[in-house]
């Protein structure tokens, strides 16, 4: 995947989401860095520019940038804007994993509390993983595509993460 330039950065803000808009911006920039779409040294659009693109108040974007800077993901470059730091990919990969794990955990809790059996939950997860990987939920027996998800990878335990901290996630 070719790196995204600041002008290519597309964020999808959901104003009706229970997740605050500044957190949506932080998460999406974090995911872009973790995936390699934004590389170290890339300049992030200015507060005003990004606010105009996603149709939110500049203070909301400024709050997101402050959070990203606090996490060490971006650094202010006087007169130039915000730049992705050298350590950002590693930090963002870790943050991405925790964000996704939390979302999966929440969905699994909801599924279990709705009286679905573990087998029904596994079937739903398998179907959604197949859909996310661009396969039909039935009959596509081909191996996973490069970059595709597997149930084991999606639900990997924290203990095994610590053992495989050298992975390139």
pLDDT tens-digit readout, 79-117: 788 999 999 999 999 889 988 999 999 999 999 999 999
14 with 77, same domain? Answer: yes
Please check the confidence at residue 14 and state whether its pLDDT lies above 50: yes
- Residue 144: predicted pLDDT: 44
In terms of Cβ atoms closer than 10 Å to its own Cβ (0-12, 13-18, 19+), residue 124 is: middle
Asked, for residue 52, whether it belongs to a domain, the answer is yes
Q: Which two tokens stand for residue 106?
A: 């929440």
How do beta strands 74-77 and 43-44 pair?
unpaired
Average pLDDT over residues 145-168: 39
38 with 79, same domain? Answer: yes
* Contact between residue 84 and residue 74 where contact means Cβ atoms under 8 Å apart: yes
Q: How confident is the model at residue 132 (pLDDT cuts 50, 70, 90)?
A: confident
| SS3 category, 20 | coil
Strand partners, 77: 81
Please check the confidence at residue 147 and state whether its pLDDT lies above 50: no
User: Cα angle at 63 between 61 and 68, to 5 degrees?
Assistant: 95
Asked, for residue 134, whether it belongs to a domain, the answer is yes
* Contact between residue 77 and residue 42 where contact means Cβ atoms under 8 Å apart: no
Whole domain around residue 121: which residue ranges? 116-163
Asked, for residue 126, whether it belongs to a domain, the answer is yes
Number of structural domains in the chain: 2
14 with 82, same domain? Answer: yes
Of 88, 103, 134, the one marking the end of a domain is 88
Q: pLDDT (tens digit, 9 = 90+) per residue, 15-28? A: 999 999 999 999 99
Sorted by sequence, the CB contacts under 8 Å of residue 38 that are 6+ apart come out as 3, 4, 9, 29, 32, 44, 84, 88
* Contact between residue 26 and residue 13 where contact means Cβ atoms under 8 Å apart: no
Please check the confidence at residue 143 and state whether its pLDDT lies above 80: no
């Amino acid at each position: 995947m070719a790196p995204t330039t600041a002008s290519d950065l597309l964020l999808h803000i959901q104003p009706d989401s229970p997740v605050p808009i500044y957190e949506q911006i932080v998460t999406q920039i974090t995911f872009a860095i973790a995936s390699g779409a934004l590389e170290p040294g890339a300049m992030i659009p200015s507060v005003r520019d990004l606010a105009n693109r996603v149709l939110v108040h500049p203070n909301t974007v400024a709050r997101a940038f402050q959070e990203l800077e606090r996490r060490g993901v971006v650094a202010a470059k006087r007169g130039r804007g915000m730049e992705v730091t050298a350590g950002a990919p590693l930090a963002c990969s870790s943050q991405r994993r925790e964000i996704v794990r939390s979302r999966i955990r929440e969905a699994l809790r909801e599924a279990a509390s709705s009286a679905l059996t573990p087998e029904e939950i596994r079937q739903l997860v398998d179907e959604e993983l197949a859909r996310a990987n661009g396969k039909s939920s039935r009959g596509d027996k081909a191996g996973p595509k490069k970059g595709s998800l597997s149930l084991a990878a999606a639900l990997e335990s924290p203990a095994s993460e610590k053992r495989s901290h050298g992975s390139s996630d």
